[in-house]
């Protein structure tokens, strides 16, 4: 079976992790600080704060922005559930804004319609799904006009950009995940990126038990710190990220060029948008048939995501705000095929030829 995803770890990560183990300084420390500095340079952000996961980073971002119980926060209905769950963590109210079926990201027009229905919304979490940037120019104009704080969920979009400007640098916070299947990994971990020094300082307190000095705790905080071990992996993975992304783009370009089977609608990539292809996601009319075909061919696949977030049992327990017709349609049609940088040319050839045969 050709795997859908595969972490790419080498001797460099092992050497630096062994260095941490030999030092005996396993918890948050100098390696975390180094990773934060390196990521800030890569990202083009002034401040970066490393966390234990992308989810904890989202939670800390909302708290740092002052989102309170009862506040409305707009987000996509089509993402991993952590995006919306972070809103519940702060006892705020998720308001779902439908997606554009061309790129599966929040639609600017739908955002305008959502704000008209919920003018008291305080913030928006924008997801750059599958590694493709959302339409940030239009979305930021709307957010600025209606005074919405903006969090960019970049968990699948490390290195993606619009006209050379990295995603995660448009809003108040960019939030990243380093889960093993991401474009780069720390094994587990997250990162907050921001230009705002005060927001960075708030986030840093919140992820460290609300501590402002040793044993001085001014606010309720959490143990959301990254360890030196995870940071050591991240330091070396970051060195490799551009190469990983280039390989993903090369494979995706072959798929887009050589898969001409009309059974599929392939991903878009508009001029000026840099897609980093965390997933190469196809639209198919008969997903069950296609999945059976992939299984017989020994090709791994993923369904990201089989249900809109508001249709999850957790969200059925309360009032659901917003509209998400497109998200529901997408949830029934999307299938992702392998695009990770560990694929060989022979495997790519096989995937292309197999999909060309699918009827």
d(CA 281, CA 302): 9
Determine the pLDDT at residue 220: 95
CA–CA dist 309, 298 (Å, integer): 30
Q: Does pLDDT of 200 surpass 90?
A: yes
CATH topology of domain 242-357: 3.90.1150
Looking at residue 262, what is its pLDDT? 97
Predicted confidence at residue 276, as pLDDT, reads 98
User: Do 11-236 and 242-357 show the same overall fold?
Assistant: no
Is the pLDDT at 318 greater than 90, yes or no? Answer: no
pLDDT at 12: 98
- Mean pLDDT, the chain, rounded, equals 97
Q: At a CB cut-off of 8 Å and minimum separation 6, what does 213 contact?
A: none
Residues 62-91 have a mean pLDDT of 98
Q: What is the DSSP letter of 163?
A: T
Name residues whose C-beta falls within 8 Å of residue 353's C-beta, 6 or more positions apart in sequence. Answer: none
pLDDT over 90 (residue 118): yes
Look up the pTM and report it: 0.97
What tens digit of pLDDT does each residue of 212-235 get? 888 999 999 999 999 999 999 999
- Cα 253 to Cα 19, 93, 173, 185, 256, distances in angstroms: 39, 40, 31, 24, 5
Q: Predicted confidence band at 306 (pLDDT cuts at 50, 70, 90)? A: very high
Q: Where are the beta strands (DSSP E) in the chain?
A: 47-51, 72-75, 93-96, 123-127, 149-153, 161-162, 165-166, 173-177, 190-194, 211-213, 216-217, 264-265, 273-274, 280-284, 321-322, 334-337
CA angle (36 as vertex; 280, 158 as ends), nearest 5: 10
Model confidence pLDDT, tens digit, residues 126-183? 999 999 999 999 999 999 999 999 999 999 999 999 999 999 999 999 999 999 999 9
Q: Which residues of 304-339 are buried (b: 16+ CB within 10 A; e: fewer)?
A: bbebbbbbeeebeeeebbbbbebbbbbbebbbbbbb
pLDDT of residue 212: 86
Please tell me the predicted confidence (pLDDT) of residue 97: 98
Phi-psi region of 19 (alpha: psi -120 to 50; beta: other; left: phi over 0): alpha
For the chain, the structural domain boundaries read 11-236, 242-357
Fold of 11-236: 3.40.640
pLDDT of residue 213: 86
pLDDT above 90 for 270 = yes
One-letter-per-residue 3-state SS of 42-54: HHCCCEEEEECCH
User: DSSP label at 178?
Assistant: -
Strands (E) in 198-341, as ranges, are 211-213, 216-217, 264-265, 273-274, 280-284, 321-322, 334-337
pLDDT for position 293: 98
- In this prediction, residues 7-29 reach a mean pLDDT of 96
């Amino acid at each position: 079976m050709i795997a859908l995803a595969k972490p790419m770890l080498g001797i460099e990560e092992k050497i630096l992790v062994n260095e941490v183990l030999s030092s005996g300084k396993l918890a948050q420390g100098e390696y975390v600080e180094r990773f934060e500095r390196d990521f800030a340079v890569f990202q083009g952000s002034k401040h970066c704060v490393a966390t234990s996961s992308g989810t904890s980073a989202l939670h800390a971002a909302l708290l740092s922005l002052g989102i309170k119980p009862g506040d409305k926060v707009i987000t996509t209905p089509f993402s991993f559930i952590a995006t919306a769950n972070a809103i519940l963590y702060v006892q705020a109210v998720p308001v779902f804004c439908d997606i554009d079926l061309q790129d599966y990201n929040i639609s600017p027009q739908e955002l305008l319609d959502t704000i008209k229905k919920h003018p008291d919304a305080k913030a928006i979490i924008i997801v750059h799904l599958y590694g493709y940037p959302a339409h940030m120019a239009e979305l930021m104009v709307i957010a600025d006009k209606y005074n919405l704080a903006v969090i960019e969920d970049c968990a699948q979009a490390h290195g993606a950009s619009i006209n050379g400007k990295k995603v995660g640098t448009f809003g108040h916070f960019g939030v990243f995940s380093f889960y093993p299947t991401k474009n780069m990994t720390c094994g587990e971990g997250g990162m907050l990126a921001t230009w705002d020094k005060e927001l960075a300082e708030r986030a840093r307190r919140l992820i460290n038990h609300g501590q402002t000095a040793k044993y001085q705790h001014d606010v309720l905080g959490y143990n959301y710190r990254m360890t030196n071990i995870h940071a050591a992996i991240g330091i070396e993975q970051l060195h490799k990220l551009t190469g990983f992304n280039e390989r993903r783009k090369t494979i995706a370009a072959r798929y887009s060029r050589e898969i001409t089977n009309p059974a599929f609608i392939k991903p878009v990539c508009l001029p000026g948008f840099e897609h980093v292809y965390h997933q190469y996601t196809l639209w198919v009319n008969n997903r069950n048939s296609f999945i059976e075909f992939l299984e017989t061919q020994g090709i791994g696949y993923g369904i990201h995501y089989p249900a809109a977030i508001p249709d999850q049992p957790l969200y059925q327990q309360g009032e659901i705000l917003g509209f998400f017709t497109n998200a529901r349609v997408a949830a029934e049609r999307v299938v992702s095929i392998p695009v990770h940088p560990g694929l060989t040319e022979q495997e790519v050839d096989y995937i292309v030829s197999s999909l060309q045969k699918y009827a």
